[in-house]
Amino acid sequence: MFNVQIDGVWHQFPKGTRVIEACEQAGSYVPRYCYHKKLSSPGNCRMCLIEMGLPKLGPDRKPELGTDGKPAINWMARPQISCAQDVAEGMGVRTNSPLVKECQQGVMEFLLINHPLDCPICDQAGECRLQEFSVDYGTSQSRFLENKVKKPKNVVLGPRVTLDDERCILCSRCIRFCQEIAKDDVLGFVDRGSYTVLTAHPGKRLENNYSLNTVDICPVGALTSTDFRFKMRVWFLKETKSICTSCATGCNTIIGTREDVIYRQTPRENDAVNSCWMCDYGRLNFDYLQSERRLLEPQILSGEKLVAADWQTAIAQAALELKQFSGSEIAIIASGRMTNEELWLTLQLAKTLNVPSIEIVPRTGPGDDILLSEDRNPNMNGARLLGVTSEPGAKLPAIADGVKSGRVTGLITLGENPMRLGISAEQLETLSTFVVMDILSNAATEYATVVLPSFAFAEKRGSMINGEGRLQRLNRAVRAPGAARDDWKILRDLTQACSGQNSSYSIEDVFRQMAEAVPRLTGLSLSKIGDLGVQVMEAHESPAPPVDLAAKNIEEAESQRPPGR
């Protein structure tokens, strides 16, 4: 630990700490444009200039002590940048001296010389560092009289990013991100002096799967999201902390919404999961919440067609149909996109109906070595920990064969399309009972006997365990459309209608039941998970054995049988 004096107060910091980070930790924020703590430090914006000094050495080459018993500081005559310098023993730093303030005002005046006055139409307005720092560290006057240098506007760098070069302050954050994080060296500066512009290299486009991170880290309005551009002012957005459910990584996110419409998702910092980044695939995967195929009301089969019904009628009809079967005649196809609470209630439903076959549908896709996982199910580890499955998809062929042979005459699908598993429309028509709980209609929905519209990821609360074994929390950002209902409530009501017993009244009750039954969750609750999650499994831990529902039911029946019978 090094002793460092910041604005007259001594602090201790570990070796390797950047001076700019040490100042922020000490409560003295130093403005910056080019510096980003997850990238290299080029030191080219000069906004982080400070006064710096080193210990004053005596004739014996030992530090001289001041009246406070601490090393006396020998201040340098010229200001220094704080982003590319590590702390040292006895170092002194001034962040608010007259010289520092004069430097900050000079840098701001220089950056604004050619910057356009288009704040009223700029997408970055409301979260722009140039706006904020011009007020906090600049002046209200400009000595520049010449015409501004005009640079290109509305430059399409790639399919998802649009550049307004006239706003660029040449911080090079986007260039360094593409080189160091995305490993796609596609951006660079051309020309010199006031005419320097950002552009893509000849014959290249900014089209990697992490391109929108350049928009996040751009401190001004130069790089903008083509999808979000001119759609909404950021100060109108309600921001909700949540997680991405597009793959097993479970990137931490902030969902920006207004009037129950999602306008954007941006990454939220969590060094244990996604650092500061997020892939474009997951970031833009929310449009289906406003899809025309959205299921908006419960439906039951009347005659030969589905008709709208209220929830009480739909649940009662589903329970009536399911209770007439023996357990072996029913199969449940669940989803790895369900929350832990929903999977737990699925187990309770299967236990109530004596269902021996419950399986999770595996879902894979191309991954990379940055964030995107090949496992596209966000909660497969949750299914493993709860004992729903040990080898996802292993039982699906048997379920499909059972439907084809007529051995399975009742089917419950939870967020999955059975036609993608090899079950044809003709075979679905032969089912006596086909209960569908889903977000969107699909080719199989029209053959259902009961349709139960459910919530999407941004419309509900719950927990998931990502591919690295970290328990994380979903939070509700928008209200669901129509009469769609929360998945856990649908499963709870269906279980109660089949068993005749009351169970959970809130999602916290469901989590508490899980925590009592699963040792890894002992002592936890939804609130205790926190914004950054809790590690509950190892990354490549062998899964828990699946719950043998038939054996468990027999065992419980034997334990409840009166003595002597």
Q: How far apart are the first and last CA of the chain?
A: 73
Q: According to the model, what pLDDT value does residue 250 have?
A: 96
Task: For domain 299-366+373-553, give the CATH number.
Answer: 3.40.50.740
> Of 62, 136, 55, nearest to 100 (Cα)?
136
- CATH 3.30.70.20: which residues of the chain? 121-134+144-290
Query: Is 550 in a helix, a strand, or coil?
Result: helix
Residue listed under structure tokens 């880290």: 217
Residues, the chain = 565
* Distance, CA of 448 to CA of 445 (rounded, Å): 5
Structure tokens at 441: 């209609």
- CATH 3.10.20.740: which residues of the chain? 2-109
> Of 25, 34, 30, 27, nearest to 2 (Cα)?
25
Phi/psi of residue 47, nearest 5 degrees: -75, -20
Q: According to the model, what pLDDT value does residue 549 have?
A: 44
pLDDT along the chain (565 residues), means of 10: 92 95 96 96 93 84 72 89 93 94 94 90 93 91 86 95 95 96 96 94 96 96 95 96 96 97 97 96 96 96 93 96 86 96 95 89 93 96 92 90 92 94 92 96 95 97 96 97 96 92 87 94 94 88 51 42 37
Q: According to the model, what pLDDT value does residue 555 have?
A: 46
Q: According to the model, what pLDDT value does residue 45 have?
A: 92
What value does the CA radius of gyration of the chain take, rounded to a whole number of Å? 30
CA dihedral (30, 32, 38, 43) in degrees, to 10, reads -110
CATH of 121-134+144-290, one of 3.90.420.10, 3.40.50.300, 3.30.70.20, 3.30.43.10: 3.30.70.20
Q: According to the model, what pLDDT value does residue 46 have?
A: 94
- CATH 3.40.50.740: which residues of the chain? 299-366+373-553
Q: Pairing relation of β-strands 261-267 and 252-258?
A: antiparallel
Q: Is there a contact between 119 and 131 (Cβ–Cβ < 8 Å)?
A: yes
pTM: 0.90
3-state secondary structure 113-162: CCCCCCHHHCCCCCCCHHHHHHHHCCCCCCCCCCCCCCCCCCEECCCCEE
Q: According to the model, what pLDDT value does residue 541 have?
A: 62
Q: According to the model, what pLDDT value does residue 23 have?
A: 96
- The verdict on domain 2-109 having CATH code 3.50.40.10 is no
70 C-beta neighbours (distance < 10 Å), count = 15
